Structure 1
């Protein structure tokens, strides 16, 4: 149908404006568009098949495991130990508390696999501490939200698994390894902004700890950090798959939180399991609905139409990639990462590969791009959490957020136009040729 794309987009955004949950907005928009091209019975059958087929993947079993391990470790005293370790290592530098915030959010986001969890766990401690030391509360809230997004790139990351499915077979192991350098670059860029901000405002540094206390804090945090090493090392070494790594992460986090740290009681596990089930159900519904939408996009040849349009705009690959990035930045400000990856990967990936970009490189670019969307007003989910923790409003944190946003955008441009940033480590470990 000639106007199917317009119908799909119009219905989808109309439902979003009515505050209909995004998974239902995707599903209803897909049904309406299908009914404009296909009879009712085949349309209903196709949607049912795509909903079921979209989540019928062994690799997706990793998601509930990593969600569960993240929730267990989120309540297992991990945040406190990571903050103390970061404080011991970099607290004495200019803007020490701000740097500690970034480092703690990065580490906790990577371990938990959730930017929202990192914002809540780290922000609830660091934002009051920063305010107590004279930091502007709105800056502290903006920094926590921005820094928490780095965990989306540093594995284990559920969104990288979802991209691997959406892209049609990019190696999860390669994506996991590829996310390290971009994630670290984002964290470093935020630290540079923090150091400059602290110098400008004259914020104090923290006292340097004796070497024995530094070592003590590192040792205390080491068991938590070992989760990343065990998971990634096992996947790269071919010892287990990403799904098996998720199961191992659950066992490790249980032992660490219940037996070693003793921060989680056996009686609390039922609540954690219920929360993990709810989160997994939401993610899987999004994946199923987005798979159906991706099918109708393909059926109506919409990705090819958009690809031809973009390639006709300019002969310059740099300009086309900039247009894709700006489009995704706008999308990320209004849409959750999971449906955005599932919907826009089949649209933009063919364009990127036509321009010579590898699917691995594009995957890191789109995840970094949409991670910035998590801390972008008006819908950025981590901003709401950060504002709630800091007891402030989104309007008040936009100004201090802008330098951080610019720093993240600069890293996005580097990642987009310098493929080696994403592909160097996977090539070193022999995950790409």
Structure 2
């Protein structure tokens, strides 16, 4: 059964079958090879994988992001970020990083960041004289902050997969690593801008005072603080926080920015439903695949083999880094979490690695896979919206990948970067 499960999954992935269908078909074939199992167990696990109250937070956070985008959020954040750093050398590159970092506190999705505000930022950078390939590469690299700074769809799924962490603890653990990633890209952008003489473009900047633009951006910037503050002070649960975020986004878009109109709601709800259905289908099929792995005792076999190597905590984390960077090249982050975390998290716990540190290392690793060919989802999306061939874009990403891998090594060797903020606020896991 294990051989059928592994061979069919790898073979279907090699044929280009979407990963959700590859996991489902591999599970069905493995069940068919086991006479003692009924095909109903596939359907049962497909639905039991979705039967989770905390999972309700995901569609609400997606809807909140769509509502805020419809409410002119992208324009407001971009104008503020460009005015804040746009006059510096490589200013629009810095504005790109700052805008997507702001937006990551709302969307929770790297692909949404790249396709939405990312497309606008690329056009602005091209008009200011930046290379189109560099603008696209910087946008794709910065978009990976989306799943790391809360709220994050991947973190919601991770907290459901591993009982050793909480959603709130993960949200807090992602703040410092997300800011470190953004800071590392700022350094890379400054170095490239000096070498290529990328200057600021004053005609593209809003002439209004910075404080005025800050006040206009403040309602949008407040959303992550409302979510985390409300959860921390016990006003609402993480799932309830997602519904509060939707209500807040409606109020801000309709009555503060006054750009969210009733006739826009059907399209917003349709996009939300489509994205939610796609993610939930992956979650359901991942549950089927993970159950088949458990029945075949594959996690136990891998765990026994790795335990026999007697690795130190740091050696184990380095081995996990290598493994997940390879896995992330071929598998998207969501199914990657569903498949790999049940196998690796018990090993990390047995080695004495802090659960929140391990979770952040896993999430950053799998997210980096989105910008590594040949199956990097962010590369495809950014290539389409920027009209830049993927090959040219990847060649521009060398320095950015070095910076991102350096941050990953810091997160591996310095647990406090992931655990300090949650610990200060009383979240050990």
| TM-score normalised by L of structure 2 | 0.95
Write the deviation string for residues 192-220 of structure 1: whole angstroms up to 9, x where unpaired. 10011111112113559899711011111
CA contact (8 A) 1:110 1:150 kept: no
CA distance in 2, matches of 1:294, 1:15: 17
Q: Deviations over 1:2-21 (max 9, x none)?
A: xx1x3222211211233322
Name 1:327's counterpart in structure 2. 323
Do residues 12 (structure 1) and 6 (structure 2) align?
Answer: no
Q: 1:161/1:297 Cα in 2 relative to 1: closer, same or farther (>3 Å)?
A: same
Moved more, 322-331 or 209-218: 209-218
- The more displaced of 142-151 and 380-389 is 380-389
C-alpha displacement of 1:38: 4.4
The residue correspondences of 1:15-30 to structure 2 (distance < 5 A) are: 15-30=12-27
SS in 2 for 1:152: coil
Q: What secondary structure, in the 3-state scheme, does the structure 1 residue paired with 2:396 have?
A: helix
Gaps of 5+ in 1: none
Structure 1: distance between partners of 2:367 and 2:225: 23
List per-residue Cα deviations over 1:301-349 (Å, max 9, x = no partner).
1112112223334634333322211221122122221111111101111
Correspondent of 2:114 among 114, 119, 124: 119
Determine the structure 2 residue equivalent to 1:281: 277
Q: Deviations over 1:211-239 (max 9, x none)?
A: 97110111111110111111111111111
Q: How does 1:220-299 map to 2 (within 5 A)?
A: 220-299=216-295
Match for residue 148 of structure 1?
Answer: 143
Q: Which moved more, 1:178-187 or 1:249-258?
A: 249-258
- Give 1:56 deviation, angstroms: 0.8
Where does residue 346 of structure 1 map in the other structure?
342
CA deviation profile, 1:263-283 (whole Å, cap 9, x unmatched): 232112112112211211121
Alignment of 1:24-423 (within 5 A): 24-39=21-36, 42-168=37-163, 170-207=165-202, 213-313=209-309, 315-423=311-419
Whether the aligned pair in 1 keeps the contact of 2:164 and 2:355 (CA below 8 Å) is: no
SS in 2 for 1:328: helix
Task: Tell me the distance in 2 between the aligned counterparts of 1:258 and 1:18.
Answer: 46
The 1:315/1:385 distance shift into structure 2, 3 A limit, reads closer
- Tell me how far 1:26 sits from its aligned partner: 0.5
Q: 1:269 to 1:334 in 2, by over 3 A?
A: same
Q: Distance in 1 between matches of 2:115 and 2:399?
A: 22
Q: From the superposition, tell whether residues 338 and 80 of structure 1 become closer, same or farther in structure 2 (CA, over 3 Å).
A: same
Instruction: Indicate the RMSD between aligned Cα atoms, in angstroms.
Output: 1.9
Does the 8 Å CA contact 2:23/2:286 hold for their aligned counterparts? yes
CA–CA separation in structure 1 for the residues paired with 2:368 and 2:192: 20
Cα distance, 1:369 vs structure 2: 1.0
Q: How many residues align?
A: 428
> 1:244 Cα deviation (Å)?
0.5
Structure 1 CA distance, aligned partners of 2:373 and 2:91? 27
Q: Rate the CA distance shift 1:169–1:60 in 2: closer, same or farther, 3 A.
A: farther
Give the Cα separation in 2 of the matches to 1:269 and 1:355: 49
Give yes or no for contact 1:311–1:320 (8 Å, CA) kept in 2.
no
* Greater mean alpha carbon deviation, residues 282-291 or residues 60-69: 282-291
**8 Å Cα contact 1:109-1:117 kept in structure 2:** no
Task: Judge conservation of contact 2:104–2:150 (CA < 8 Å) in 1.
Answer: no
Contact 1:70 1:114 in 2 (8 A): no
Deviation of 1:405 (Å): 1.0
Q: Is the 8 A contact 1:107 1:151 kept in 2?
A: no
- How far does the alpha carbon of each residue in 1:73-93 deviate from its partner, in whole angstroms, 9 at most, with x for none? 222211111111111222222
